[in-house]
Amino acid sequence: MSDLFPKGVESNLGPEMRQRLLQESRNPWRGLRRVVWFACFGSACLGIGVMGLRSVSGITVPLTDLGIQFAAFGIFGGLLLWDRRSSN
């Protein structure tokens, strides 16, 4: 603890607040990142669902569009899991 404050300076922070602030300094913008990953993952899920319903109704769905949705599903799902694991 002495390496963070000069000699003679005391911290008014409680131990819990200090730990939270140190963790936030190690992982800045973690909450915002998770919201963005979750929103993009949800968008990919919604896109897959819409394309699935269009396909069931008889409308042809280009494989490239379906591939983009599945790629987004995999990428953003992986980023969400990776960000979650790295913070634990």
* pLDDT tens-digit map of 25-60: 877 888 888 999 999 999 999 999 999 999 999 999
Could you read off the pLDDT of 64-77 as tens digits, one per residue? Answer: 999 999 999 999 99
Contact 65, 51 (CB under 8 A): yes
15 within a domain of the structure (yes/no) = no
18 within a domain of the structure (yes/no) = no
13 within a domain of the structure (yes/no) = no
11 within a domain of the structure (yes/no) = no
Number of other CB atoms surrounding residue 80 within 10 Å: 17
6 within a domain of the structure (yes/no) = no
Cα-Cα end-to-end distance for the chain:
23
Range of the domain at 55: 29-87
Segments in 1-88 forming alpha helices (H): 15-26, 30-56, 63-87
Q: What is the pLDDT of residue 1?
A: 47
22 within a domain of the structure (yes/no) = no
Name the domain count of the chain. 1
Q: What is the pLDDT of residue 68?
A: 96
